Amino acid sequence: MSTHELKARLREQARDRLPAPVVDRIRARASLRERVRVLEAEVQENRQLNRRIAELTDVVAELLIPLEARDQDRVDEVLARYRQGL
């Protein structure tokens, strides 16, 4: 029997001897830990949207005006300048 299996069996035996409310509390705490781990990952994903928003805002704010004016020369000029300014 591997160490992992042995640990699992011992844990099971220990739980069998514990009153049901205690077992439920242990289970709830373990599931809470997992939920916090998932939540932290999701919060971090959301934080990363800040950079995406800033990147898109920057592109749109700098390039939209000459596009709206349908001025191809101006678009080329603005694109070239934007590229140099990154």
Partner 1 sequence: MTTVVSDDGILLPAASRPFLVEIDGHYVWSLTPERDGVRRAGGVLVPWPGVLRPYLSGRGRVRVTDATGAEVLYDAEVGLGAGEGPLAVVDRAGHRLCVDKVGHLTRSFAATAEEVREEILAGTARAIADLREHAGVKAYLNYGALLGAVREGRMLAHDSDTDLCYLSEHSSPADVIAESYRITRAMRERGWNLLRMSGGDIKLLLPLSDGRLCHIDVFVAFHVGDTFFQLGNRSGPLPRSAIEPFSTIELHGHEFPAPRDPEAMLAFLYGPHWRTPDPSFRYADPPEGVRRLDGWLRGFRTEMGLWTGLFNGPGQREVPAGPSAFARWVAPQLGELPVLDVGTGTGRDALWFARRGVRTGAVDFSRGGLGVVRRKATRRGLDVDAGQLILGELRSTLLHGTRLARDPHHLYARHLVGCLDAAALDQLWLLARMALRPGGGRLFLEFQASHDAPGGATGTPLEPDGLVRRVDPETIRAAIEAAGGVVEHLVVVPGEDMLDRPDPAVCRIRASWPATRTQKENR
Interface contacts to partner 1, rule CB under 8 A: 43-44, 46-59, 61, 79, 82-86
- Minimum CB distance to partner 1, residue 82 (Å): 7
Name the residue nearer to partner 1 (CB basis): 3 or 50: 50
How far apart are alpha carbons 32 and 42 in whole angstroms?
15
Minimum CB distance to partner 1, residue 73 (Å): 15
Closer Cβ to partner 1, 1 or 41, answer by number: 41
